Structure formats: structure tokens, C-alpha cells
Structure 1
């Protein structure tokens, strides 16, 4: 999730000048604007003048105000995260600090990556993507009512009357919840739910039955067939909104655990390939261009050998964060394996995709990674880009992009190769 750092400074309260220099230096490498204060009065005045994204408070704090008095004041003025930097402490002390207004704790020595991850998650929570809901109901009146209720709540809704079209629509629309009528001419809702649950790609999508059926036994039977909940039609609109929102949120959290790489929070290999298969099928059906890029960090093994795997992990996370900023939501970007990443470019020509990858390459090359000894480290990546051809399948597209990547490496690295 990207953000405008010029509008959102980070404030740091710390009287240790050397520690301040370390923190401000690390944050500046991410393009974050950090301002340090040695006195509480100056920090409070700054918060009054310009709202920060995050406030960092070092355990040594300052000379002009005690922490028990200061922290509640910061919490009242600042709605965002209040992060406490400290050495390990007892649970009781953490609880007392949380009561005073601290929202997050970061251990010393300061690790900019951990703070960046917290900031990214916070911004994603502030600006969530609209829930995608598919309504399946042969009654236009009831489908229109449910669609209006959910659309007014900020959700993205698609309606379909014929349940037999649902599998195809799921593949195209990727709904995060299906609102399903029980009784339709073509089939019953529980029959459709049973079919959907047989497909591993659809198995985890929440299904909520929306029906006039009031018999409890029939409702339970429908849920046993694959439904997650049962709502009676023309019920309270607020209840419909709340249930859909809660179930979509749970689905997203579970899907992220299953589909994301734990280090980078990008798609893992399995789900990257799954997403590419979907996009290849869509591109062939719609006759729209589709491009695919393979990225590999140059000389990465030497980074691990010389600086250690902890530094290597930070390098990988830095590139992953750059990719997340360039592609909000990161549903088209994945960690292919090790130091290799992949990007899916729907509706994008080979040259346009290559231009975007080259912009990423330039930005990554300008970034300076901090080693454990404080030494800045500049790195580069090579990439290969290919475009889907007539009759080409996902495996062939990957192989073609991979060949272009090796072409870039053979030509001297730190460049983007185009598939011939």
C-alpha cells in the first residue's frame, strides 16, 4: 500500500542524538520523512501543527516531562499509532504503557523493516478494498434490494439470475462472498453450493443463503451442503451488511494466511501460478494482451555469504515493499522462489510491461540497504518480460519470461530482457 510521505511525517521523541541519527537515516532510505524532538513540548506543538502518520517514543524519552504524563497527552492529540521503542520488558510494564496510550512496541535495536510493515498494515486497514459480492437470485426485486443495500455500504456487487452461470462468473469476478437464493428454477441453492464446494478454487468462498425459507431444519440442511450462514429475505438491512462485512473480513484474513508468502506478504508460489492460470484463461477468452515478468536480484548469494541471511531477508523485503507500492493490493505480484519475483500484467502489452518493470529496476537501484555494521549496500535486479501468444499456456509464458531473464543476466545484469 503506497502513501504520500510528504503529507504524513513520522515524529520521534528521543534525547539520544546518535540513536536519532540511526532511526532517521533508516527511515529516510524508505523515503519517509522523519522529524526528531528532544523535548516533549516541541513534539506536542508539532502534533498540533501537522498530524503525523506515526509517533515514536524512545524509552529514555525526554527531560521536560515524565512518560506517565506525556503518553496520554500524545494519545489524545494523535489518532494513529503510538510506538514505544525499548529493550525487552515485563508484561506488566507493557500493559501499563498500553493503558497510557501506546499502541505498538518495537524492540531495540531499531529495525526499520518492522516499522514499515506496521505502517503498511495500518494503511491497508485505513483504506480497505471494497468487498466483492456475487448475488444469485432469480427474483429481480429481491436481488435489486440486496444489491442496493450492499452497494450503499460501499461494496462492489454483481447480480446473476441463472445459477448455472455462477462457476464461470466466479472465475471472472473473484467474489469474496456469494449471496445465494435457495429456490431457483434451474437448481436449488444447496445443490449449487455442493457443486461449488467440489472445486478447490471456490471451496473457501463464503456462501450465505438468502431465502424466504423459515423452517430451521431446512436451513441447517442447506448449511450442511456448503453454506456458511442463512438469512431470511427482507430482514434487517443492517444485519445483512454486518454479516457480509464480517464474513468477507474473515475470508480475507484466512486467504492471506494461505496465499501469502510469510516474509514478503506477496502471493506465494502456488497462488501466484493459480492467479496466472486465471489471467491466461481470461486473456484468451477476451482476446486482451497479457504480459508476465520474472525478476531476480543480482548477485544475491554473495549478499547472504558476505552479510548474512538477516541482511538478505531485509533486501528481499525491501524489493517486496516496492512491488506492493507499485501494485496496491499485490494480487498480481508474487514471490516465485528465493530471490525471484513475478508480476502479472493483465491488459498490458510487452513494451508497456517492460517500461513499468524498468521503472521498478531504477527505483530499486537507488535504494540503499543497511547492513548490520551500518554500511549502506546498493543492489540491482535483472528481469525478463514476455507476452502471451496465441495458444500459449501459463507454463510456456513462464518459460519464455525466464528465458528473457537469463538473456538480461547474460548481457551484464541490471537490465530488462524482452522475449524474442
Structure 2
């Protein structure tokens, strides 16, 4: 029923003492599976190192420093921290769990940070809290989306090549009078405004932020040619989020990248469904609006599909919510495998999923979603040792430009989903 090898694409490898694993294993796994990752446990150093060498670098590696107390080297000498750090594969960074006594020693923290430390935490730490923090680390390392920066000024003062390497696109725009239109169109993560342009139109930050269609998480940064406390105070009072002084290009660029990194993490945590890793309703609506605007500019057809697992309440009531979570996870993997590069897939909530298919006419959308339906129906779920069951979903479709907005598309597709349910389920209407 729960083939974790294929259910969860992300993994945590945990090296800990045997008693720690026995006391925490079941609860840690239950929490981790809710957050779309699996945990593999190790109480032997050699086995942990062997697995880490072959593991995906995107996985997380956690070491409980209490393992030092029951590990010995070949000469029967107790293993010290330096010995442990030398044995950990250098291609990975590690999360360290340590006692209050250990965490109080600054030199120990320095030693960890100097040796591939991704993060550390103090024990005791509740299992659900630990899993939540590990999920956040996965989010921090995720770099699958491009960020946009609008630059209002005479000359871009950042290293554009370095920004491009970090998937940051910078758009140079020299006209303060039309900046608000470009912000509405591109929905950037950051707007950078040189102080000279701010002085020409001091209301610019307020103009940008008062637009209800602008992403409220967007940051506005003023770039100062030289320190000026009076100007800085006026800028902050007028709506700027941050000030940067013009300095070495590399330093300035990394300052910007650090800001964008925090924005990305916050957006990722807000916009993703933790149980499947897919976009949630908030994330989908934001991304869908961007895709629809692009489709309008490029005159590309879109199809929006709403699908819903049939009789899902019966599944939960009969075999339990954990089994229901497995069914949802399986569906997300099946549908996800049929997504193309520019498609969007979201878990809207419960057993309902929404997808936006790029450059897809209605007939093609009907065919693609039907293939997903058939593929999901072929999966055998083991509900007991002697019994397997197959489940289904129903769906509804809507097409752009027949329906112009994300809301119009969703409402029509949802109505078609209702028709599919009323018509006997396990079918796609549209």
C-alpha cells in the first residue's frame, strides 16, 4: 500500500543511536510522509556513509551527535567529532542534532559550520517540529523557478551574469512614468530604484504598492549612490522596504541574491501543498494568472481541468485517513508524470486537483486527461494482505480563450466536473 520508494521523491537519511530510532521512528515517518518525504534510519556509521555517497545531493543528511558516545575506531579509541566529520562524504552538507551542553560550546558550533554544516538544532526537539524544520530546509534549497527584478535607473549596477546563473532575470527600465504598468504586467519579485529617479518622483513606491493587482510580497529597494540619512528616512516612510548603498558589484549582487533567496523560501512555503509538493490554491491562482497573461500575448490556447477522486469519503471512512493520503499521493504522481514543461498542477484541497495545460486545444485536453484517468485506474491499492482495490476520478474541462480569466475557467470546469459526477463518475466532461 505504501511503497515509499516510489511515493516520496525526497529523502532524509538519519544517523542516530539505536534507542533514538526505536523511540521515534514511527512518529517521524508519519510526520515526514505528511510533508512529502521519507526517512531512512541508520545506527551504523559505515552503512550511513555508503548510502550517502550514492544518494541524491538534493536529499537531506541528518546526524545525531550522540552517536559519538557509542562508536569506536579500529584501535578501540572512542570516535571524536573530528573523526566523525572526516568520515562524512564531502559532497554533502549535514544537519546536526546536538544536546544543550553541546550547543553551548561555541568552538563546537564553529567546527560544524566549518565542515559542511547545512543547519543544526538542539535536542530535545519534538518530532513534528523537527520534520517541519527539515521541510523548510528542502524549501530553501529548491531553485526551480526564475525570479524577476525590475531595475529603474540609468545603468544596471548588478552582475547580470551572476544573477542569471542563480535564475534571476533583471529587466532594465529607465522610465519612472511607466514603471507601474510594467510592474503590473510582469509581477516581479523585486523592484530596484536608483535614488536619482526616486527624487524625480518620490511617490513612486506608494503608486506601486497601492495597486491591488500587484503581488503583496514584492519588495521595493532604493539604491543610494552615497549615504544620506535624510533621504533614507524619506524613502522608508514613502514605502521602500530596503536601502542598498552602491558599492562593489559582487557585494551588491550577493546582497540582492540574499534578499531574493528569502523571498523564494517564503513564496515556496506559502504556495506549496506540503503533502504532495504541488502548488496549493494560492500558488496556483498566482501562477495561473501569469500563464493566462502570457497566453494572451502569444495567442496560445489553454485548457483548465478540475479532477476529483470518486467516493473519497468512503475511502477515508473504510480504510482510514492515512490510506486516503496514500491515494492522494499516488494520484499526484500519476497526474504529475503527464505534465509538460509549461503546464501547472495544483492540489486545491482535499481530493481535488486542478491543472492548466499550455498550448492545448479542447480535444487534446480531453485526450490527455483521459489518459491520466485510465493510468490512475490501473493502480492496484493493497487494502489488506488478501485484497486490492482500484479507484477512479472524475473531471471537468474549460478552454481559454472561450473563458478569459482563471476564475471563469475554474467555475466552468467545476460545473463540468459536477456533470461527470452526476453522469456516473469515472469520466471527463467538457
In 2 relative to 1, CA 236–401 (structure 1 residues): closer, same or farther, beyond 3 Å? Answer: same
Partner of 1:227 in structure 2?
Answer: 240
**What is the SS of the residue equivalent to 1:146?**
coil
For the residues of structure 2 that align with 1:93 and 1:358, how far apart are their CA atoms? 59
Partner of 1:309 in structure 2?
Answer: 321
C-alpha displacement of 1:209: 1.2
In 2 relative to 1, CA 95–239 (structure 1 residues): closer, same or farther, beyond 3 Å? Answer: closer
For the residues of structure 2 that align with 1:379 and 1:175, how far apart are their CA atoms? 42
In 2 relative to 1, CA 150–180 (structure 1 residues): closer, same or farther, beyond 3 Å? Answer: farther
C-alpha displacement of 1:217: 0.7
C-alpha displacement of 1:198: 0.5
Q: Deviations over 1:222-278 (max 9, x none)?
A: 121111122344x22133222212222222333345444565554443553454444
In 2 relative to 1, CA 314–151 (structure 1 residues): closer, same or farther, beyond 3 Å? Answer: same
Tell me whether 1:341 sits opposite 2:357 in the alignment: no
1:385 aligns with one of 397, 403, 408: 397
Contact 1:334–1:341 (8 Å) recurs in 2? yes
For the residues of structure 2 that align with 1:245 and 1:40, how far apart are their CA atoms? 37
1:9-48 correspondence runs (5 A): 41=46, 44-45=49-50
1:51-200 correspondence runs (5 A): 53=59, 69=79, 76=86, 77-78=88-89, 79=92, 122=138, 125=141, 127=143, 129-137=145-153, 139=154, 142-143=155-156, 145-146=157-158, 148=160, 151=163, 154=166, 155-184=168-197, 188=200, 190-200=202-212
Gaps of 5+ in 2: none
C-alpha displacement of 1:295: 1.4
With normalisation by structure 2, the TM-score equals 0.67
**What is the SS of the residue equivalent to 2:314?**
helix
Gaps of 5+ in 1: 85-89
Pairwise CA RMSD of aligned residues?
5.6
Partner of 1:87 in structure 2?
Answer: none
In 2 relative to 1, CA 176–56 (structure 1 residues): closer, same or farther, beyond 3 Å? Answer: closer
For the residues of structure 1 that align with 2:196 and 2:85, how far apart are their CA atoms? 53
1:208 aligns with one of 221, 233, 237: 221
For the residues of structure 2 that align with 1:368 and 1:55, how far apart are their CA atoms? 33
C-alpha displacement of 1:175: 1.6
C-alpha displacement of 1:221: 0.6
In 2 relative to 1, CA 122–336 (structure 1 residues): closer, same or farther, beyond 3 Å? Answer: closer
In 2 relative to 1, CA 396–11 (structure 1 residues): closer, same or farther, beyond 3 Å? Answer: closer
For the residues of structure 2 that align with 1:331 and 1:93, how far apart are their CA atoms? 50
Q: Deviations over 1:14-49 (max 9, x none)?
A: 999xx9xx9xxx99xxxx999998965455456557
The 10-residue stretch of structure 1 (43-52 or 398-407) with the greater mean CA deviation from structure 2: 43-52
C-alpha displacement of 1:333: 3.2
In 2 relative to 1, CA 228–117 (structure 1 residues): closer, same or farther, beyond 3 Å? Answer: closer
Contact 1:194–1:225 (8 Å) recurs in 2? yes
Contact 2:222–2:240 (8 Å) recurs in 1? yes
C-alpha displacement of 1:177: 0.8
C-alpha displacement of 1:296: 0.6
C-alpha displacement of 1:197: 1.0
Q: Deviations over 1:357-416 (max 9, x none)?
A: 44544554466668799987653322222211346444332232223323444555344x
For the residues of structure 2 that align with 1:331 and 1:271, how far apart are their CA atoms? 14
